[in-house]
Amino acid sequence: MRRTASCTPKAVSSSRIAWLIAAWVTWHRTAARVIDPSRATATRYSSCLSVTSFISAVYDLAKQIQLCLGIGPRDSGSKAGEHAQRSAMPSPHVVTLGTAGGPRWWDRPGAAAARSGISTAVVVGDAIYLVDAGQGAGRQLARAGLRMDQVRALFLTHLHSDHVADLTGLLLFGLFERREPDVVPLAVHGPGARGNLPPLSSHANLRPEPVAPANPTPGTAEMIELLCAAHATDLNDRIFDSLTSSPADQLAVHDIELPAGTGFDPDHTVAPPMEPIEILRDDRVLVTATLVDHPPTAPAYAFRFDTADGSVTISGDTAPCDNLVRLGRDTDLLLHEAIDLDAISVRYTDEAMRRATMEHHRRAHTTPRQAGEIATAATARALALHHLVPGDSPASSFLTASETFDGPLLIPDDLDVIEFAAGARLRTEVA
């Protein structure tokens, strides 16, 4: 597998450093097993970890120095230019448009990392398939040199705001950029309605008032209808005065339908064991999906893209989940979410909210170590962690995935390019 994340002469890509560290740890663990298989690797391994901690500290310091000098870590301009130059790249790849999870603007000045909201472009030839539309997704797509009229479909893993914050931007701005005369309607595939409000937290002292009580859990199709209705003044101005097309004519929206008999229940069984289901098949990809474990949100999906040259599996938000292992079996690249529970637990000032939210994080998300276990169980060829929470944590916070996964580990920055063709090899391009 070949990796082509960009790197300016001044600022070596932070994710590349993270990869080098992970590769170093992986090599030493392997070496420890090979050199001295009779002894437990604990001594060698713990010394590796202490050295890794040292390197991580140096890495964090280097990133702060980059920030102070104004030369990193956001080198997206060069990445966008690089990817635009490589737009004829024949090998299938993903572009990590945004790598942060959670309903926050993480890319603040002074943050250890500067990440946009979660969104990924799967690029196969001249066709683009988007997964999620987190904060800044449309602008990141433009920065990557990818054109909206190349986008064939948008897949929404679930309807949490950090995954759909820029859906409005794609509808109101992005559709304007689909100017090719023969461009087909943009397909949108996402979860259907939950059907009822989620169970009330056991930490609640009273029952809160829901938002939009008449329709508190719209699915994808209804959500897009409501977004268009909210912007009707603007849209009708343009449709009647400037003769632009209505979003209704440019979109083909589908709520994902579950087969009968899965046993899915939004309150009690959000990810019953199931075989992956086919979502889309065209001349470039076969897209399959499975239910994942992200309560109380339900349904929530992971997606897999199989191409003639390789596959990528994108977890969506989920706790460790057997369905995902099944979907990602032997995949060339697993893009999995990861949360640093220690770092996030100190962010809350309200104690009741901290208790309730941390309980949610533990039952609905995955630690880096667990993500490594999943990649190992699925025999994925490479693992990249994204949807990083907190989104301003340094990449070094997520390296513990290398303790449970021996293959290549990536902690990508925004706008990194990761090829996933079966014959591609990971390589770094340090300037």
Residue appearing with tokens 């060339």: 332
Task: Give the range of 101-109, 265-273, 349-357, 415-423 binding Zn ion by CB under 5 A.
Answer: 101-109
Q: Are strands 251-255 and 186-190 parallel, antiparallel or unpaired?
A: parallel
- Whichever of 364 and 382 has its CB closer to Zn ion, that residue is 364
> Least separation, in Å, of the C-beta of 120 and Zn ion?
13
- Whichever of 15 and 318 has its CB closer to Zn ion, that residue is 318
> Least separation, in Å, of the C-beta of 401 and Zn ion?
18
> Which of 63, 74, 79, 160 touches Zn ion by CB under 5 A?
160
Q: Which amino acid is at 230?
A: A
- Whichever of 59 and 106 has its CB closer to Zn ion, that residue is 106
Residues 6+ apart with CB under 8 A from 334: 312, 313, 315, 328, 374, 375, 378, 380, 382, 383, 384
- Whichever of 82 and 162 has its CB closer to Zn ion, that residue is 162
Type and span of the H or E element at 167:
helix 167-172
Task: List, in sequence order, the alpha helices (H) in 10-93.
Answer: 14-35, 42-69, 76-85
> Least separation, in Å, of the C-beta of 37 and Zn ion?
41
- Whichever of 67 and 167 has its CB closer to Zn ion, that residue is 167
Contact 158, 426 (CB under 8 A): no
Strand partners, 260: none
Q: In what order do the strands lie in the sheet with 186-190?
A: 251-255, 186-190, 151-155, 127-131, 119-124, 93-98, 417-419
Among 120, 115, 122, 179, which Cα is nearest to 152's?
A: 122
Residues 6+ apart with CB under 8 A from 59: 14, 17, 18, 21, 394, 395, 396
- Whichever of 248 and 358 has its CB closer to Zn ion, that residue is 358
> Least separation, in Å, of the C-beta of 91 and Zn ion?
29
Residues 6+ apart with CB under 8 A from 149: 177, 178, 179, 180, 183
- Whichever of 388 and 426 has its CB closer to Zn ion, that residue is 388
- The binding track of 48-87 with respect to Zn ion, each residue x by CB under 5 A or -, is ----------------------------------------
> Which of 132, 317, 332, 419 touches Zn ion by CB under 5 A?
317
> Least separation, in Å, of the C-beta of 387 and Zn ion?
6
- The binding track of 112-151 with respect to Zn ion, each residue x by CB under 5 A or -, is ----------------------------------------
Q: Binding to Zn ion by residue 162, rule CB under 5 A? A: yes
Task: Give the range of 310-318, 319-327, 347-355, 372-380 binding Zn ion by CB under 5 A.
Answer: 310-318
> Least separation, in Å, of the C-beta of 102 and Zn ion?
6
Spatial distance between the Cα atoms of 394 and 268, rounded to a whole number of angstroms: 35
Q: Which residues of 67-103 are buried (b: 16+ CB within 10 A; e: fewer)?
A: beeeebbbbbebbbebbeeeeeeebbbbbbbbbbbbe
- Whichever of 189 and 386 has its CB closer to Zn ion, that residue is 386
Residues 6+ apart with CB under 8 A from 284: 124, 125, 127, 152, 307
Q: Binding to Zn ion by residue 101, rule CB under 5 A? A: yes
- Whichever of 128 and 319 has its CB closer to Zn ion, that residue is 319
Task: Give the range of 5-13, 152-160, 259-267, 371-379 binding Zn ion by CB under 5 A.
Answer: 152-160
Residues binding Zn ion: what is the number (CB under 5 A)?
A: 4
Percentages helix, strand, coil for the chain, rounded to the nearest 5? 35, 20, 45
Task: Give the range of 94-102, 121-129, 198-206, 411-419 binding Zn ion by CB under 5 A.
Answer: 94-102
> Least separation, in Å, of the C-beta of 348 and Zn ion?
17
Residues forming contacts to Zn ion in the complex (CB under 5 A) are 101, 160, 162, 317
